[in-house]
Chain A
Amino acid sequence: MEQLLRFLMRYGGTFLFVILEVFSLLIVVNQNSFQHASFLSSSNQAAASILNAESSITSYFGLENTNRQLAIENTALQNRVALLQGRLELLKDSTHGDLQIAPDQAYHYVSAKVIGNSINKLQNYITLNKGKLDGVKPEMGVVNDQGVVGIVTAVSDHFAAVMSLLNSKSQLSCKIKRTNDFGRLVWNGIDSDYAQLLEVPRHADVRVGDTLITSGFSAIFPEGIPVGIVTQSSRPSTSSYYDITAKLSTRFRTLTYVKVIQYQNKEELQTVQKEGEQ
């Protein structure tokens, strides 16, 4: 016992060092399984309330920009309402007022404010001020009026952590609007305005200026949300795929308000997909 104590007195520092380092490394290596642990992420209640306080101060700086964005979105929505109302009137006339509007709306949006956001790391995350109690769950898609933002990874009661597209672990299935060729969008960590589209086969026809949209294959994003615009495409002779760089349509530097997408038939779709694979 005495010897053990003497050993610990003498090498205690090193001993503790090894324990702490092994512990941290284990967490790093297993980070995928910790990703949904909200106490270890910025959706943690304490951390998020500090971020919330910070954003309530800093949000004033971007107010003008935000106002403009909201005004644009507002106009677009009003136009849409007007258009749809017109169509509704038309339909009403032709069916003598007995119109039944289809009751099921597959997607539901929850608007949220960004209270934490980074773009200067390899793995960037965004923190939102909506959580479990607002119906936000892990694996839900996040968009804003410009395009795709990311995917929810962890939630607490009032806050959510979102893996941004600017994350080396993020993968998004998208397709080229003009030709419907699809690929996988990843980020190489270098420029926060550009991402890379992989696995588009050589025989496809990709041109600079083509628009990328979500493919709608997963239950996370509906089809047709803008992702980016192709700025570079080449066919390296050593590869059977295209080399495509796209400018992201979402401006991550000035992200303030976003919408979380709840897909009502998600479980049904996933069950069908799983059954299909068997």
Chain B
Amino acid sequence: MSGSQFLKHFIRFVVLIILQVAIFDNIRFLGYINPLLYIWFILGLPSTINRSLLLILAFITGTILDIFSNTPGMYAFATVFVAYFRTPLLKLVVPRDDVSSSYEPSLKSLGFPVFLKYAAVLIVLLHLLLFTLEAFSFVNYELVLMKTIINSSLTLLLVLSLQKTKT
């Protein structure tokens, strides 16, 4: 990773965590709106990043959010899980000839259909894991599924629109 690239991801990390803690964890509308935009940090890291480094970054991100929302271990578990399946998923959805070269997954580098597939799968996975862990039982599971659907769509929309405005 070059210096400017490192700086970009670092700034994104800090900004997304602040946004998540200050705004998205505090939405008081309807009582279950809680999009997890911070995952964009994990989604956008370069494709050739060392896998162990990726997992450790995910763990750190998750733990910081856990501390802010008093949910020991939950964000950490879900984020590490998503980070682990990022690599195989990229191999699966990105056309073959791109695999060896380094790129940062984004709307611009992958194109809309590929990026949508990539981001949607991981975002839904993240919400499902986190809300299930939060409920910690399968009682009332419709509520978890409903929260997953609504908040995944919101997060996906946010990730897509933020990238659109950037390009």
Question: Which residues of chain B have C-beta atoms less than 8 A from A41's C-beta?
Answer: 67, 70, 72
From B33, B70, B84, give the contact of A42 (CB < 8 A).
B70
Would you call the interface of chain B mostly helix, strand, loop, or mixed?
A: helix
Q: Do the beta carbons of B135 and A168 come within 8 Å of each other? A: yes
Interface residues of B (CB under 8 A from A): 21-22, 25-28, 30-34, 51-52, 55-56, 59, 62, 66-74, 76-77, 80-81, 84, 87, 131, 133-136, 140, 143
From B22, B33, B84, give the contact of A120 (CB < 8 A).
B33
- Report A15-74 residues with CB < 8 Å from chain B CB: 16-17, 20-21, 23-28, 31, 34-35, 37, 40-42, 44, 47, 50-51, 54
A187 CB → nearest B CB, Å: 11
- The answer to the question of A171 belonging to the interface, with a C-beta cut-off of 8 Å to chain B, is no
Q: Do the beta carbons of A24 and B68 come within 8 Å of each other? A: no
B112 CB → nearest A CB, Å: 29
Interface residues of A (CB under 8 A from B): 12-14, 16-17, 20-21, 23-28, 31, 34-35, 37, 40-42, 44, 47, 50-51, 54, 116-123, 125, 153, 161, 168, 188-192, 253
Question: Which residues of chain B have C-beta atoms less than 8 A from A12's C-beta?
Answer: 51-52
- Bound CA–CA A92/B157 (angstroms): 71
Given A13-B55, A20-B59, A20-B76: 12 more A-B contacts, CB < 8 Å = A12-B52, A13-B52, A25-B73, A25-B77, A28-B74, A31-B72, A42-B67, A54-B22, A122-B131, A161-B70, A189-B140, A190-B31
B59 CB → nearest A CB, Å: 5
| Known A24-B62, A120-B34; contact A16-B68, beta-carbon cutoff 8 A | no
| Known A13-B84, A20-B76, A26-B73; contact A189-B26, beta-carbon cutoff 8 A | no
From B28, B80, B134, give the contact of A24 (CB < 8 A).
B80
Question: Which residues of chain A have C-beta atoms less than 8 A from B28's C-beta?
Answer: 119-120, 192, 253
Q: Do the beta carbons of A42 and B69 come within 8 Å of each other? A: yes
From B27, B33, B77, give the contact of A21 (CB < 8 A).
B77
From B21, B22, B34, B56, give the contact of A121 (CB < 8 A).
B34
Q: Do the beta carbons of B80 and A21 come within 8 Å of each other? A: yes
Q: Do the beta carbons of A16 and B31 come within 8 Å of each other? A: no
From A16, A23, A122, give the contact of B52 (CB < 8 A).
A16
B147 CB → nearest A CB, Å: 9
Question: Which residues of chain B have C-beta atoms less than 8 A from A47's C-beta?
Answer: 67-68
Instruction: For A188, give the chain B residue with the smallest CB separation.
Output: B140
- Bound CA–CA A28/B52 (angstroms): 22
Q: Do the beta carbons of A121 and B69 come within 8 Å of each other? A: yes
A95 CB → nearest B CB, Å: 53
Q: List 19 A-B contacts (CB under 8 A).
A: A12-B52, A13-B55, A17-B55, A20-B56, A20-B76, A23-B73, A24-B59, A24-B77, A24-B80, A25-B77, A42-B67, A50-B21, A118-B25, A118-B26, A120-B30, A120-B33, A168-B135, A189-B140, A191-B31
Q: Do the beta carbons of B135 and A118 come within 8 Å of each other? A: no
Question: Which residues of chain B have C-beta atoms less than 8 A from A50's C-beta?
Answer: 21, 68
Q: Do the beta carbons of A28 and B72 come within 8 Å of each other? A: yes
